[in-house]
A and B are shown apart, each in its own frame.
Chain A
Amino acid sequence: MEVFLTRSRLTLILSLIVFLSLCFLSSSALSSSSSTTDLKILTAERRIDLSSHIIRVVLTLKVQNDGASTASNVLLAFPPAQAKHLALIHAAEVAGKKRKKTLHPLDVMTSNNADLPNGAKLYSVALRNPLSAGGSVTIEVSYVLTQSLEPFPVEISQSEPQLVLYRDSALILSPYEIKQQTTVIRTPSTKVESFTRVEPSTQTRTELKYGPYEDQPSFSHTPIVVHFENNNPFAVVEELVREIEISHWGNLQVTEHYTLVHNGARHKGGFSRVEYQSRPTYSGVASFKHLLVKLPPRVHSVYYRDNIGNISTSHLRTGYSKSELEIEPRYPLLGGWKATFVIGYGLPLQDVLFESNDGKRYLNFSFGCPIAETLVVLPEGSKNPSAVASRMLLAPSNHT
C-alpha cells in the first residue's frame, strides 16, 4: 500500500489528520458463465496445516479445459463458514517440474455468484494465459483461515490441555468435477482424540490422510470433524488501531494499539499462581505470555506500554534485516483473558519515503497484514493525499 502526497511546504508539523478508511476492494465479478462446466480438475491435493491456531492450506490443482472455448478464469469454491474466515488467499501458476518449478502469481478476485448450492462462495483466479481447449495448467492456491478452530470443551480449567475441533469436508469443494483428490491434515501433536473416517482415511503420527478419492462430481461435500489437542497460543488481536505520523524532521512514528485476547478454550475456575509457576508443563499449557513482534530494521525509540504505564517485560533485538521485539503482556493470558497494549516505534523517513521526479512523494510502508483501522497523519501543508492499496484486505480481525 502506498500513500502518495504532493510536495509540501515545510511548515510546522502536527495536525492535519487524514483518515483513510480502507474499503475492501470488491471487484467486479468476472463474467464466468462460460467456463463453469467446461473445466475439469485432474488431480487435486490439499494440505491443511493445523499446527497453530491459524490454518494454512495449500491446494494444488491441475486444471484441464475440456470445453471448446478458451477459459481465462478458474473458480475456487469455499463453504460459507470458511469463506467468512478466509484471511488471505494467494494463487500462483506452477510452471516446470519439481526442481525447476517456478511460481507465477495470479490475481484472485471474489466472484459473486448467488445461485450456488448451500451458499458456497466463489473466488476466481485469473490465469496468466487463457487456457485453450484441451490444455491444462497447474495452479497452487494457498490460503489462510482464521478462527476456524472451535475449542471443545469450550471451557477448561488451568490444568487441562486445550482440545479443538476442526470442521471441513473430506472432499474438496469445487465447481468442477475432480478426477482424483487427496487431503492431508497435519495436527500439532499425535494427540488426536477422534476424527471422522471417510474411507480410505489413515492416521500416521501427526498426519491424517483422506483419499485418494476418484471422480467426484462438482460441489460434492463430505463433512469431517477432527478433534485434537492444540496448545498453541490462540492469540487474537481483536482490534488494532495504527497511527502513522510522518514528520518533517525525518521521522516516521508508528503507534499501534492492540487489544489482544486468548481466543481458545475459555478459562474455567480459579487461577492458581503457585501451580502456574511450579508446574509449567501441566498447568496453563494453553496459556501464553510471550509474543514476538517483527519490526522493520533501523527502528528506534521503541516503546511498549498500556494506558496505565510502561510494561517492563520486553526485549528488543535489532538486526540488519529486521528487528524483533519480544513482549510479554502484564499477565499470562489464559483462555478468554484480554490485554491491551501499545507498541510505538520510529523509523528513519528515508527508509520509507521516496521522492519522484515530478515532485511527488511516495510513502512506501508495509502496513503488515492486519489492519482494522489506519490513521495516517501527514505533515502540515500536505495536499491531495491518495492511497493505493496494493493488496486486498479480507478480514477485519486478524492474528498475530
Chain B
Amino acid sequence: MAVPIDNNLTKPTPPSSTLRFAFGNVLAFFILLLIGVLAFSIRLFSVIKYESVIHEFDPYFNYRVTQFLTKNGIYDFWNWFDDRTWYPLGRVIGGTVYPGLTLTAGTIWKVLQSLNIPLSVETVCVFTAPVFSAFASWAAYLLTKEVKGTGAGLTAAVLLAMVPSYISRSVAGSYDNEAVAIFALIFTFYLYVKTLNTGSLFYATLNSIAYFYMVCSWGGYTFIINLIPMHVLLCIVTGRYSSRLYIAYAPLVVLGTLLAALVPVVGFNAVMTSEHFASFLVFIVIHVVALAYYIKGMLSPKMFKVAATLVVSVGLVVCCAVVAVLVAVVASSPTKGWSGRSLSLLDPLRLALGWSRALDLPVPGQRHSRLAPSVPGYKTQYQAVKKTYASKYIPIIASVSEHQPPTWPSYFMDLNVLAFLVPAGIIACFSPLSDASSFVILYLVMSVYFSGVMVRLMLVLAPAACIMSGIALSEAFDVFTRSIKFYISNLSESLQIDAGDTVPGNNVSPPSDVLKNDKKEDMLKERPSRKNKKKEKENIEKPSVKSKTEKRPLVLPVEASFFALFLTVLLGGFYVVHSVWAAAEAYSAPSIVLTSHSHDGLHVFDDFREAYAWLSHNTEVDDKVASWWDYGYQTTAMANRTVIVDNNTWNNTHIATVGTAMSSPEKAAWEIFNSLDVKYVLVVFGGLVGYPSDDINKFLWMVRIGGGVFPHIKEPDYLRDGQYRIDSQATPTMLNSLMYKLSYFRFVETDGGKGYDRVRRTEIGRKHFKLTHFEEVFTTHHWMVRIYKLKPQKNRIRGKTKKSKSKTSYTTTPRSGTVKKNPWH
C-alpha cells in the first residue's frame, strides 16, 4: 500500500528532487486516471442494476434528436421542423435546442463508426454522461490546481468524481444537457483562471472556445457570462487590475459573444438580452480602467491627479446625460424595459423564470409583453410582475419539482460533508487571497445563491463546493502532517545530535508509512501523495526554519494532529460511503422501469414501455396522443406518435387546453380533444400498485394551469374544504372530471367492489360509472398506463337536432361549457 514516490513540486532541483518531481507528475497522472475511472464507473450502477437505457423524460428528447442527427446529418438537423409535437403547432427543433450535447454524442458516434466500432446511437448516448463526468473531474483538478496547487486539485477532482449532486444528473443513461455542460462550465472557469494567472492570449482564445461549447450545451452559460464580469469588477474594485485581467476578460467578451451568436438558439440574444448586459458594461469599465492605468503610467502623480479630477467631473456629466437618454429610451419602448428586467434579477421568482428559460424549460409564451407594464414606478411594477407571475405562470414552473427551492436535507443529501468543509475552504482561499482564489470564492457564493432559488441549480453549486472542500481538506492535511513531521524531526534531532545534516527524506519516510497504514481505509488515493508533497515542502523549508530555531505559526500538538487527521479521514470515508450509496440507490433508477423488492424477489414494473410499445405498434402512424405534458417527450421518442404538448413547455395556452380537457367532464373534454384531432388519451394511474407520481396526484396542477387560461375551471371546485380528495367526500366536479374517470374506470372490479386506491390510501368516491365518449383500448399489466380512444361521433338521429356547438375552435368550447354551468349538477 505504501506509496514510496513523493509528489514534489517545489523549486530546488538537485538531481534526486528532479526525479521526485517526475515521479510526482507520473503519480498525479495515474491518480487522475483512476479518478476518471472512478467517476465513470460510479455512474454505472444504473446500467448494472437496470439496463443500458435512456432515463427519465428530457433525455428521451435528446436521444431522439441525436437519432435524427445521426440519420439525417447536420444540415437537416438545423432545419428540422418537428411536426410530431405540439400538434398542430409543431416545433422548430434546430432553432430551439441547445445543440452541444447532441452534436457531441453524434460526433462520438461518428468517430466510433469510422473506427469500425459498431456501437449503437443509444449506447453512445447512455455513456456520454459518465464519460463527461470523468472529464469534469479532470477539469476540476486543473481549475483547483491553478488556485491552490496539485494536492488541492487532486482532492477536488476526487470529490467531484463522486459528488451525489452531480451523480444525480450524470448517471449512465441520464443523457441531458447538464451531462456535458458541467464539464464545459468547469473547463471554461479553468481557462479563465489560467489566463488570469499566465496572461497568455492563447489561453484566452481557448477560453472563448470553451465558452462557446458551453453556450452550445446549456442555457446555464449565462451563469458564466455574469460571473466572470462580476469577478473582473471585483478585481478592479479591490485594486487588482492588471494586464492579465484585461487579457483574460476582453477577448472572452468579444470572441465569446461572437461565437455565442452563432448558436441558433441564442442568436441575437447574445447582445440583446439583459443576461448579457453585465458583460458589456464591465467590458466598458475595464477599458476605462485600462486607459486610466495607462495614463497613470505616463503622467507624473500630480499631473495624474489633476487629469483624474478633470475626467471624473466631465465623465460624471456625460454619464448623467447618457443615463437620462437611456431611461428615456427604456421608458418609451414597452417591450425592452430592462429596468423591470434588471430588477427581476434580484427577484428569486423572476430569476427562476430566467433560468428556466435558459435551461430550456417551461417558458410561458407571451412573457415579454406581459412582463413589461409601462413603468409606473419600481415598486408597483415589481408587484405587478409578481402578481402576473403568481397568477399566470407560476403553476407551470412550480409544478416541476426541481424548480422548487431546496430543503436543507437536500443540501445534505447532495453535498454531504462538503457542506461543512466549504467554509473552511473559503478561509483557506483567503490566505493568501489571489485573483484565482477570489474567483473561486465568488463562484461559490453565487452558486449558493442560485441553488437556494431552485433545487436544480444545486448542480452548479456542486463543483464549487468540491473545489472549496478540496482546498480545505488539502490545507488541513497540510497543517496536520506538517505538525507531525515537525514533531518527528524534533524527536530525531534530540536523539542524534547531528541530525540537522541528515537527509530529510530518510527522516520522514518511516512516519509517513505509519501514517499511511493508519489510514488504510482511506480510498482517496491522492491524499498520501499530497501529504508527502507537503512534507517535502516542509522538509525543504525546514533547514532554514531550524537554523533560526523558530516554530512555524501553524504547528499543532502532535496528538491533536493525529486525532484531527483521523477525523478528517473518517469524514472522507463517510463521504465516500454516502456517495456510493447515493449513486447505487438514490440516483440509479431510470424512472421508466420501476422495481420493488418483495418477499418473493424482485418485481419489475415495465408498464410505461409496455404502453409506448403498444402505441407504436398498434395505432396509426399519424394518430395524435394526448397526455399530460410530462409524457410528451417519451411518447414521441418511444412510441413515435404525435403529441399535443410535451416537456418543452413553451406554449402555456396549449398546455392549459390539455389541462382544461382533463379537468372537464367527459363531453366537454371530448370536444376539446376532438378539436385537436386527438385519437388517444393516455393517463398514468398508480392506484393499483401504489405508484405515487401519477396523474391523479398531478391533477391539481392541471386544474391550476387550465384555470389560469380558461377561467371556468376553478380550483376550489375540485377541493372539498381546501382538501384534495378523491374519496366519497370529493366534490362532484372532481368525480366527474375526465381525469378521475379515465383513471378509475372499472378500477373497482379489481378488488371486489372496494376500489381501494393504494396511493391515496382511500376508497375511491365514485365506483361504478360508464364512459360514453371514450373507450378503453389498452391498460398495462399493472394498470400504470391507461390508454383510451375517443369514440367517433354518434350518428345524428333524424328530427332530434342538438344545440349546435362550435367544434372548430377549442378556445370557445370551454367557454360554452361555462355558459352551460355544471352540466353534471
Contact = CB atoms under 8 A, between A and B. Distances in A.
A271 B781 CA distance: 12
Contact of B617 (A15, A310, A311, A338): A338
B118 interface: yes
A330 B606 contact: yes
Interface stretch (A119-127, A272-280, A381-389): A272-280
B123 to A, nearest CB: 12
Contact of A312 (B604, B780, B783): B604
Interface string A297-313: 00000000010111111
Contacts of B279: none
A12 interface: yes
A274 B617 contact: no
B53 interface: yes
A312 B779 contact: no
Contact of A331 (B118, B775, B780): B780
Contacts of B779: 271-274
A366 to B, nearest CB: 25
A270 B775 contact: yes
15 contacts: A14-B117, A270-B775, A270-B777, A271-B776, A271-B777, A271-B778, A273-B783, A274-B779, A278-B749, A308-B613, A308-B638, A309-B51, A309-B592, A311-B606, A340-B617
A337 interface: yes
A96 interface: no
A308 B116 contact: no
Chain A contact residues, majority secondary structure: loop
Contacts of A331: 610, 613-614, 778, 780-781
B750 interface: yes
Nearest to B774: A270
Contacts of A15: 116
B746 A12 contact: no
B775 A269 contact: yes
Contacts of A313: 606
A104 to B, nearest CB: 46
Interface of B: 51, 53, 116-118, 592-593, 604, 606, 609-610, 612-614, 617-618, 638, 746-747, 749-750, 775-781, 783, 789
B746 A274 contact: yes
Interface of A: 12, 14-15, 269-274, 277-278, 306, 308-313, 330-331, 336-340
A273 to B, nearest CB: 4
B110 to A, nearest CB: 16
Contacts of A336: 618
Nearest to B617: A338
Contacts of A338: 617-618
Given A15-B116, A312-B604, A330 B750 contact: no
Which 3 residue pairs of A and B lie closest in terms of their CB atoms, listed nearest first? A273-B779, A338-B617, A14-B116
A196 B606 CA distance: 48
B175 to A, nearest CB: 13
B610 A274 contact: no
A308 B612 contact: yes
B586 to A, nearest CB: 21
A311 B610 CA distance: 9
Contacts of B614: 330-331, 337
Given A270-B776, A273-B783, A278-B750, 20 more contacts: A14-B116, A270-B789, A271-B776, A271-B779, A272-B776, A273-B778, A273-B781, A274-B750, A274-B779, A277-B750, A308-B609, A308-B612, A308-B638, A309-B53, A330-B609, A330-B610, A330-B613, A331-B610, A331-B614, A338-B617
A337 B613 CA distance: 11
B719 to A, nearest CB: 30
Given A308-B613, A331-B614, A274 B749 contact: yes
A306 to B, nearest CB: 6
A83 to B, nearest CB: 31
Nearest to B605: A312
A200 to B, nearest CB: 47
Nearest to A312: B604
Contacts of A339: 613, 617
B376 to A, nearest CB: 54
B452 to A, nearest CB: 37
B783 A337 contact: no
Most-contacted residue by chain A among B612, B618, B638, B750 (CB, 10 A): B618
Contacts of B776: 270-273
A261 to B, nearest CB: 9
A308 B777 CA distance: 21
B664 to A, nearest CB: 21
A14 B118 contact: yes
A155 to B, nearest CB: 14
Contacts of B53: 308-310
A12 B116 contact: yes
Contact of A306 (B604, B613, B750): B613
Contacts of B606: 311-313, 330
Contacts of A330: 606, 609-610, 613-614
A277 B752 CA distance: 13
Chain B CB count within 10 A is highest, among A273, A278, A308, for A308
B267 to A, nearest CB: 34
Contacts of B604: 312
Nearest to A340: B617
A309 B609 contact: yes
A248 to B, nearest CB: 13
A149 to B, nearest CB: 22
Contacts of B51: 309-310
A307 to B, nearest CB: 8
Contacts of A340: 617
Contacts of B610: 330-331
A313 B613 CA distance: 14
Contacts of B778: 271, 273, 331
Contact of A272 (B118, B618, B746): B746
Contacts of B612: 308
A283 to B, nearest CB: 12
Nearest to A289: B781
Nearest to A273: B779
A275 to B, nearest CB: 8
Contacts of A311: 606
Nearest to B611: A331
B602 to A, nearest CB: 10
Nearest to B779: A273
A196 to B, nearest CB: 36
B374 to A, nearest CB: 51
B478 to A, nearest CB: 49
Contacts of A14: 116-118
A338 B617 CA distance: 5
Contacts of B618: 336-338
Nearest to B746: A274
B777 A312 contact: no
Nearest to A12: B116
Nearest to B590: A309
Nearest to A276: B779
Contacts of A309: 51, 53, 592-593, 609
A269 B746 CA distance: 16
A339 B118 CA distance: 26
B766 to A, nearest CB: 16
A269 B117 CA distance: 47
Nearest to A260: B617
A167 B780 CA distance: 38
A117 B633 CA distance: 59
A126 B117 CA distance: 50
Nearest to B634: A308
Contacts of B780: 273, 331
Contacts of B613: 306, 308, 330-331, 339
Given A271-B777, A273-B783, A274-B750, A312 B593 contact: yes
Contacts of A270: 775-777, 789
Contacts of A306: 613
Contacts of B783: 273
B764 to A, nearest CB: 14
Nearest to A15: B116
